[in-house]
Structure 1
Amino acid sequence: MTLTEVSTQLNSINNNKLPPIFFLTDMNKFKNPEVICQQLPTGSGVIFRDYEISDRKLRASTLAKVCAEHGLILFIGEDRDLALSVGADGVHYKENTITSAFKSMKDKKLIVTAATHTFNSILMAKEAGADAVLLSPVFRTKSHPEATPLGISKFRDWTNRSPLPVYALGGISSDNAHKLLSTKAIGIAAIEGVIREFYPSEKS
């Protein structure tokens, strides 16, 4: 099953209004995320990361226009002010900045997601006021080969007990995505998995 098929089923089964699938940008793996965005189904989410690039404001503005044209939900990583300035729908925070992002999460001008790797960090995100979390790595991933994957059993347990909606992230491909259907995840977030699905000619 494709990531799109699985994420759509998860989102429908668990009755959530957030996007079923998130594409996380990484220009080291794909230099023009706008190309991927043009292929995504309407209602998909995009998290613009690429924190270190020199023209981040310009690229965020360009991406915002593409997302608006294609009916996508745009989140800006780690920068509430930039998210507001380009008209993004939300902001995404790293696990180690969840608590410092308390104000952004509470003013509710933006939807807020947070990266999490432990159950305690899920609880921290809930306390801070996040709307959903991206929990990783579910499977072994090329991006972080040193990280021990949660595996489906632990991911299922944490998702069942989570006070927030959970997205599955990390090592998800068309070969293993179907395993997520046994969990209460509301969708999938991915970098390379989305690139392979929507731009298969690109080496990632």
Structure 2
Amino acid sequence: MKHAVAVSRKFRNAAHLAQAHTGPLLPGGFFLTDPARIPDARAIIDRLPDGIGVIIRHFGQAHAMQQAFDIVSDCQRAGRIVLIGADPDLALATGAEGVHWPFRMRDDLRRTKPDLGLLHTMSVHSPTELRVARAYPVDALIYSTVFPSASPSAGHPVGLSRFAAAASTSPVPLYALGGISAVNAEKAARFGGFASVSAFEALL
């Protein structure tokens, strides 16, 4: 329990620091759900400190789509920002604040009506994708992979200095994804936001 409390404090402090870069409309950090890797996302969300938002990724799984309604309700009660992965219809149905897009679906973002009042974020995985993404109407970008990660989908880490350089020239807030922990989240937060799938399991 003491360890979880200490982890929560570190993430809360990092999120507060990151807020200087992410602005008033977005949280300092994001927890990304993954129904295959973390079946009970709500248990983690219930323990997230202030300043951490949620991105619900249902990957087309019916049970995860249904659970999205419960997660959005949980987040609304906690005053926590929540986005839905690649699904503006579900975002509107649940009352989520916006949509998170994978880079490969960037043209779907362009087709989303701008008058819906949704926030939009996008994942990028290389300097080339980062440059291309700047032409799209996004409120923030999530850049992977920043730190070394054991995730099977993780690429070669760009490192903190390159993330910092990218964040300094980005027209929108940049979030670090990949290898995030309670230890290095504050390092990323000196330049932008941070995001993770598994790091927040340490809160349990």
TM value normalised by structure 1? 0.86
| 1:117 matches 2:125 | yes
187, 193, 198: which one aligns with 2:199: 193
Q: Which runs of 5+ in 2 are unaligned?
A: 1-6
Aligned with 1:98: secondary structure?
A: helix
Aligned CA distance change for structure 1 residues 195 and 114 (closer, same or farther; 3 Å): same
1:40 CA drift (Å): 1.8
TM value normalised by structure 2? 0.86
Aligned with 1:113: secondary structure?
A: strand
Q: State the percentage of identical aligned residues.
A: 31
Is the 1:22–1:189 contact (alpha carbons within 8 Å) kept by the matching residues of 2?
A: yes
CA–CA separation in structure 2 for the residues paired with 1:46 and 1:19: 9
1, 12, 16: which one aligns with 2:23: 16
Aligned with 1:55: secondary structure?
A: helix
Query: How do 1:1-204 and structure 2 match up within 5 A?
Result: 2-12=10-20, 14=21, 16-17=23-24, 18-104=26-112, 106-144=114-152, 147-181=155-189, 183-185=190-192, 187-196=193-202, 198-199=203-204
Q: Which runs of 5+ in 1 are unaligned?
A: 200-204
2:79 aligned partner, one-letter code:
G
1:52 CA drift (Å): 3.6
Deviates more, 1:130-139 or 1:33-42: 33-42
1:108 CA drift (Å): 4.8
Aligned-residue Cα RMSD (Å) equals 2.0
CA–CA separation in structure 2 for the residues paired with 1:3 and 1:16: 17
1:84 CA drift (Å): 0.4
CA–CA separation in structure 2 for the residues paired with 1:84 and 1:122: 27
Aligned CA distance change for structure 1 residues 8 and 43 (closer, same or farther; 3 Å): closer
1:10 CA drift (Å): 2.0
CA–CA separation in structure 1 for the residues paired with 2:70 and 2:133: 29
CA–CA separation in structure 2 for the residues paired with 1:69 and 1:145: 33
